Amino acid sequence: MKRAAPFAALLLGLAALAVSPAHAQFGRNQVVTRDFEWKVVSTEHFDIHYYEESAPMVPFAARVLESSYARLSRTLRTDFKGARKPFFLYGSANEMQQSSIVDAGDGTGGITEPFKDRFLVYHDGSRRWLDTVASHELAHVFQFHVLISGFWKSAQILKTIVYPLWFMEGMAEWSTKGLDETAGEVLMRDAATSKTLIPLWKLEHFSHLKPHQVRLAYESGASALEFIESQYGEGRVERMLKLFDSKFESGAVLQDVTGLDVFAFDRRWREYLEERYAAQVRRERLQEPAVYGRVLTTAHDRNIPESNSSPVPLPGRKAVAYLSTRDGFPPALMLLDLSSGKTRTLLDLEPRIETVELGRFADLSRVLAASPDGRRLAFTGKRNHRDSLYLYDLETRRLERVPLPGLSDATQPAFSPDGRSVALAGMKEALTDLWLLDLSTRRLRRLTEDPQDDQTPSFSPDGRSIVYTSEAEVEGDAMPYQRRLRRLDLFSGMSEELSALRGAARDPVVSPDGRRVLFALEKDGSQDLHELELATGRVERLTRTVGAAYTPAYAPDGSIAFASLRGGSVQLYAGNRADFLSEPVLRGKPAPAAPTRSPATVSVSTTPLFGSERAFRDSFGSDLFLPAFFYSSNGGFFWTSYWQGSDMLGIHQAQGLMTYASGEGYVDYQAAYQYSRWRPRFVFQSMGTVYNRGLDTSKGWNSNESAHTQAATMAYPLDRFQRVELTAAAVTDRYNDVNNGERIVNDARIAAAAYVRDTVKGRYLVATGGSRLRLGYLESPRVLGGNFIYRTASVYASKYVPTGGLSAFALRGFAVQSVGPQTPQYALGGFSSVRGYGYSTVTDVGSRMALGTAEWRFPLWGNLDYYMWYMFPDFYFKAVSAAVFTDAGYAWDTSSQLEGARWRDVRHSYGAGLRLHVFILQLFPLVVHFDYARRTTTPGGVFYVYLGPMF
C-alpha cells in the first residue's frame, strides 16, 4: 500500500517560505513608519475619525460630508436611517498609504469598503480635492447602503463583483458634478475627437485597462449617466441603482431604463459625444497642439497611452529635460537633445525612489526644475512614505537626496536665480504652503502660512519675489473652488493678488525678463495656456487646444514649451511666441486690494458637531461568513465554510476555513491571524487534515492519518522593495495502518529566514524591467521532540532587460542545497523547471539542484482587444506574445556527483511558446502558456499548456 502524505505537503509548503521560487512570494511591501492616535467626533450622519495632523480639516470635512449627504439623499431618495457611517480622514497621501484598514496604493485618493461601511480619504492641501474625493466616496457609501442590505450581508457583498464599474464609479463621479468638471471634460473631448472612447461594455471592470485609462473610464461612466438623465428623464440614475439590487447584468438594467441593450445604448451614447464635441471644436475654434509648436516627443507605443510632462529647457544647452511614463511607473527622468532630436534616459528612478507624482490624476503639475546654470535638476520623490528633494547632477550623473523634515508632503520645486536655494510646496499640519530650502545649510523656512492651498512657486529673475497660485473659495459661482495668481515679496513677506481672472490658474512661470507670467488656466471644460503682463494686468489666451495644455515653460530664447493631451497620451511641444494666440481675456489689473502679510494664520470654517471629541475605541466583528453544505447517499454529509473578521482599524485580521465530509471521515481546517499595527507584520497560522478512510472494507483494511501545522511569521519591510521574513513552525504527522499495526509519527520543528527583493516593473501586462531576488535558509533540528531533520539553503533570482516596447529579455536562476537524514528531494523536470523533461520523483532528482533560464519575450498582437462577451464567464483577450527560450539544470546528491558531472548529465532544452493574455470577467488576469521544449541531451520533447507566469 502506498499511503498519501499530507505531512509532506504541509512540510513542503513551509519549506517554500525559505526556498521556493514561486512567483507569488514576491511583491511590493507596505511600510508603516508611524502609529495613529485616532479620535472621533460625530455629525448627524457620520463618525469622523482623525488624528493630530488631520485635525485642522475636521470642521471642513464635516461641512462637506453633511452637504453631500443632503444632496445625495435627495437625489437617490434614501437615507442612512439613523445610522452614522465611519469616516477616516488622513492628513496626507503618505499617511493614508500606511493604513491598516485597506491597502491604499499610489494614485488612490479614497477608498470605500462594504464590510464595515467604512470610507477613508486623505487631504492634499486643496479643499477642492477634499470636497471632491469625500463626495465621490460618499456616493459609494450610498451605493452599498442600497445594494448590500437585508438578510445575510456576506452574500450581498459577493454581488459587488458583478456590478459594472462604469456605473459604480461613473455614478460617484457624476455625483461630484460642479466640483471637478474640467479634467473630465478634457478627457472625454479628447477621446471623442480622437476615436479613443472605450465602449461601456468593455468597462464592466477596469483591471484590463492600459496606463492612463482609468480616469477616462471613470469619466466615461459619469458621461453615460449624464446622458441618461438628460435624454431619458431625471431620476433614472436612482432607478438604475435600485434595479441593480435585483438585476446583476448592466444590459438588463439599461433595457429597463432606456429600452436599449448595452450595445445599442453604447452606440447612441458614443455617437452623441462625437457629435457634441465635434460641434464644440468648430464653435470654439479648437486646434491640434501641433498648430502652436512642433512636437518634441512621440508615442513609444501608439497602442499604450503615456505621459510626458514638466518640460524644462536647460540654460546653456540645446536640450529639454522632462518626466516620462514611456517605460511605466514611476516616471523616468529624460533628456531630449534639440539639435539631434535624440532622447535618452537620464535616470530610471526605481528602486532608489518609489514614486514621483506628476500631479493629482489628470491634473498634471510642474514637478521638475533646472538650476540657472543648467547643470542640476530638482524634483521631489517618495521613499518609505517620506518626501525628499532629489538633485541630479547632469555632469557627474550623481543623484543626491535632501530630506525635508517636518513636511508630510512636498512637491513642485523651483530654483532661485542664484541657484543657492529651492522653493517648493510643502504640507505641514494639513496646510500646504510655500517653503524655502537653503541648499548649503539644508534649513527650511516657511514662506506662507494660510488655510489656502499654495502651489507651484516661480522666482522672479531678480530673486526678490515668488509668483505662485493659491486656492480661493468663490461663493455662488458654478466653479466654487478657483486658483488665483499671487506674488510674494521675499523681503517684506507681503503677498498680493496679481489677477482676479476666473478659473484655476496653474503652474505659473515668470519670463526671463520678469515682465510676464505664463500659466495654464482651467475653467469651463478647457485648460489652456495664458500669459499675464505684470505691468498692466493684461491677460491673453495663447492656445485653444482640443485636449488640454499643461506645465508651460519659457525657453532661454523666448520660445514656449508645453505638454498637451491628445489621443489619450500627453506629449511635449515647443514653438515661438509668434506661433501662439494673443486673445485678450482680461484687459487690466483688478481693483487694488490691501496686500496681506505672510505668514499669517487664518481660522478655518466650522460646522456644528454632535457631541465632544472622544478617544477612539476599537471593536472586533465578522466581515464575511460563507457556508456551503449538501448531503448525498454515497458520500454522506459535506460541509465547508469560510469566515473572516477584523477590527475597525484593520490591525487585527482573522480568517478561517473548515471542511468536513462524513463519508470519508475527512476534516480539513485552516486558520490565520494577522497583526498589522507596526512596521513588522505578524501572521499566525494553524492548518491541518484528519483523514479516516476505509480502503477495503471487505478485508477490514483501513487506515487513518492526520497532519497539523502551527506557524508564526514576521515580515519586516526594509522599504517598499525589500523585506526580511522570519518563520517558526511545528509540523506533526501521524499515520496508523489499522490492518498491520504500522504507526508512523513525524515531527518537524522548523526555523526559516528569507531576504526578498522585488523591483520588477512593466508598462502593461508583462514585466519589462527590474529584478527579483530571494535568499532563503530553513532548518529542522532535533529539538522539542523533532525527528524530521534537515536544513536547506537556496537562492532565486530573475532579471528583466527591456528590449523595446513590451519585449524583454528574461533571465532566471535557482539553486538549492539540502542536507540531513530526511532532506527533501527536488525534481528537475516539469514546466516550472527544465522544460522538455517530464516531472519525476525517481529520475533527475536530488537534494541539490541548480537551473537557469534565458527567455526572450516579445508581442505578436499587442492590441488584440477581443471580448468574448456572449458566454459566462466572459473572456477578454488582450494580447498574444511569443517567447523563445532555453533551460538548463542539474540535480545531484553528493559532491562527487557534481565533480564528475559532464555535459551529457546536464538537462538542457530549447523551445518556443505563445502566451495568451486574458481577463476573466474583465477583472481577473490570466496568462495561458503554450510551450514546446526540445531536449538536447536526449531525443524528444514535451508540449506544455499551463496557467500563470512561470517567472
- Stretch 25-54: mean pLDDT, rounded? 92
List, in order, residues 6 or more apart from 297 with CB less than 8 Å away: 308, 322, 324, 336, 343, 571, 572
pLDDT digits 0-9 by tens, 734-777? 887 766 667 888 899 999 999 999 999 998 999 999 999 999 99
- CA 471, CA 504: separation in Å to the nearest integer? 8
Q: What percent of the chain has pLDDT over 70?
A: 93
Question: 855 forms bridges with which residues in the sheet?
Answer: 810, 885
Q: Is the dihedral of CA 231, 235, 237, 241 positive or negative?
A: negative
Neighbour tally for 92: CB within 10 Å: 23
Residue 594 burial by Cβ neighbours in a 10 Å radius (0-12, 13-18, 19+): exposed
Q: Which residues make beta-bridge pairs with 415?
A: 422
- Whether residue 709 is predicted with pLDDT greater than 60 in this model: the reply is yes
Residue 523 in this model has a pLDDT that exceeds 60: yes
Work out the average pLDDT over 712-717.
Answer: 96
Report how far residue 646's alpha carbon sits from residue 653's, in angstroms, rounded to the nearest whole number.
4
CA distance 224 to 139: 17
What confidence score (pLDDT) does residue 31 get?
92
Q: What is the pLDDT of residue 600?
A: 39
Q: What is the pLDDT of residue 593?
A: 54
Q: What is the dihedral of CA 184, 189, 191, 195, to 10 degrees?
A: 160
Tallying the residues shown for the chain, one arrives at 951
What is the rounded distance in angstroms from the CA atom of residue 524 to the CA atom of residue 163? 32
State residue 56 phi and psi, 5-degree precision. Answer: -60, -25
CA angle 127, 132, 134 (to 5 degrees): 95
Q: Distance between the two ends of the chain, CA-based, in angstroms?
A: 37
- Integer Cα distance of 426 and 806 in angstroms: 37
Please give the pLDDT value at position 74.
95
Instruction: Work out the mean pLDDT of the chain and round it to a whole number.
Output: 90
Spatial separation of the C-alpha atoms in residues 703 and 744, rounded to whole Å: 12
What Å distances lie between residue 29 and 74, 100, 682, 846, CA to CA?
Answer: 42, 13, 14, 34
pLDDT bucket at 71, cuts 50 / 70 / 90: very high
Distance CA 252, CA 601 (A): 55
Per-residue CA distances from 56 to 39, 450, 606, 612 (Å): 13, 12, 10, 15
385-394: b or e for each residue (b if 16 or more CB lie within 10 Å)? bbbbbbbbeb
pLDDT of residue 594: 54
Please compute the mean of the pLDDT values over residues 903-915 and round it to a whole number: 92
Q: State CA 610 to chain mean position distance.
A: 36
Judged against a pLDDT cut of 50, whether residue 12 lies above it is answered with: no
pLDDT for residue 533 is more than 80 = yes
User: What Å distances lie between residue 591 and 111, 134, 496, 499, 500, CA to CA?
Assistant: 44, 35, 12, 10, 9
**What pLDDT score does 950 carry?**
82
Residue 111 has pLDDT above 70, yes or no: yes
Q: Whose CA is closest to 721, among 681, 800, 774?
A: 774
Answer with the residue of higher pLDDT: 180 or 314. Answer: 314
- Cell reading at 463: 530673486
Q: Indicate whether 800 pLDDT > 60.
A: yes
Strand 376-383 and strand 386-393: the pairing is antiparallel
Name the strand (E) or helix (H) holding 445: strand 444-446
Give yes or no for a contact between 220 and 228, defined as CB atoms under 8 angstroms apart.
no
> What is the distance between the alpha carbons of residues 497 and 468, in angstroms, rounded to a whole number?
10
Give the span between the Cα atoms of 220 and 166, in whole angstroms. 7
Residue type for 864, please?
Answer: L
Count CB atoms within 10 A of the CB of residue 507.
Answer: 26
- Which span out of 13-22, 619-628, 926-935 was modeled with the highest average pLDDT? 926-935
User: For 855-859, what is the mean pLDDT?
Assistant: 97
pLDDT of 599: 43
**Share of residues in the chain with pLDDT > 90 (%):** 72
Average pLDDT over every residue of 317-331: 91
CA 659 – CA 290 distance, rounded (Å): 65
All residues at 6 or more sequence positions from 861 whose CB lies less than 8 Å from its CB, including other chains: 879, 880
Mean pLDDT within 169-186? 90
Which of 102-106, 124-128, 381-385, 540-544 is predicted least confidently? 102-106
Interval 200-215 mean pLDDT: 94
Q: Determine the average pLDDT of the residues in 244-258.
A: 90
Residue 552 reports pLDDT greater than 90: yes
> pLDDT value at position 7?
47
Per-residue pLDDT, averaged over 235-250, amounts to: 90
Phi first, then psi: what are they for 849, rounded to 5°? -155, 150
Say if residue 696's pLDDT is above 70: no
Looking at per-residue confidence, does 229 or 635 come out higher? 229
The 3-class secondary structure across 120-185, one letter per residue, is EEECCCCHHHHHHHHHHHHHHHHHHHHHCCCCCHHHHHHHHHHCCHHHHHHHHHHCCCCCCHHHHH
Cα–Cα dist 647/112, whole Å = 16
Nearest to 212 by CA among 110, 308, 103: 308
Can you give the pLDDT at residue 595?
60
**Model confidence at 2, in pLDDT bands (50, 70, 90)?**
very low
Phi and psi at residue 530, in whole multiples of 5°? -135, 165
DSSP, collapsed to helix, strand or coil, labels residue 233 as coil
Gap between the Cα atoms of 168 and 160, Å rounded: 10
- 73-107: pLDDT as tens digits: 999 999 998 889 999 999 999 999 999 998 888 88
Average pLDDT for 857-861: 95
Question: Where are the alpha helices (H) located in 878-938, listed in sequence order?
Answer: 895-899
Residues 367 and 357: beta-carbon distance below 8 Å: yes
Whether the CA torsion 864, 865, 867, 873 is positive or negative: it is positive
Is 414 a residue whose pLDDT tops 50?
yes
Q: Is the pLDDT of residue 603 over 50?
A: no
Q: Is the pLDDT of residue 617 over 60?
A: yes
